[in-house]
Amino acid sequence: MQEAEVSLRVALYYIQHKLTNEDVTVSIDGAHIKTGEKIHFDIWSFLSDNGCKKIEGDSDRWQGKYQVFCCSEHIIITSEAGIGDVNVQLLDGKKLYVESKKGKENKSGQEYPLMREAIGQLMTGRELTKDIIPAVAVPYSDKTYELATRWCEYSQIKKIGIRFILVKADGDIVMI
């Protein structure tokens, strides 16, 4: 699962499960979509297949505002650096600040460094105030589940309040 898909599935989950009543911002690096002529993630097909229709922005670009089928909240897709991969205003007034990472099929051992990188980005990306909930989002696997379950017990992770969002291929999410 590509990083852009992880981020978009998190946004869709929060909107479709009514965990927010605000638009959700997703920042995607263009290189995660395409480099040169090589397409890494078919964002147009993904959005269409998941009931998202572009309602604002240049029709030739994937950045813009998208209506999510049967929901009043939108996904706003940008390529703005330094804002985190997903930002969700939660119903309790807190803001979920997510750093996402990809997963590669049949590539063992990559979960550990990718999850650690996301934790590092959370720690250095912005000031974490009491109103911000930092989270790491990665594809679900036995290994990511094992690491998240173990790491969430560490005092430093508890103190900062980092959550782990494990994204399944069907769009379901396991929160740790």
CA 133 to chain centre: 13
Helices (H), 17-170: 30-33, 43-49, 111-125, 142-151, 155-160
Q: State pTM to two decimals.
A: 0.95
Residue 148 has pLDDT above 90, yes or no: yes
For 31-52, how does the pLDDT look when each residue is reduced to its tens digit (9 = 90+)? Answer: 999 999 999 999 999 999 999 9
Residue 106 has pLDDT above 70, yes or no: no
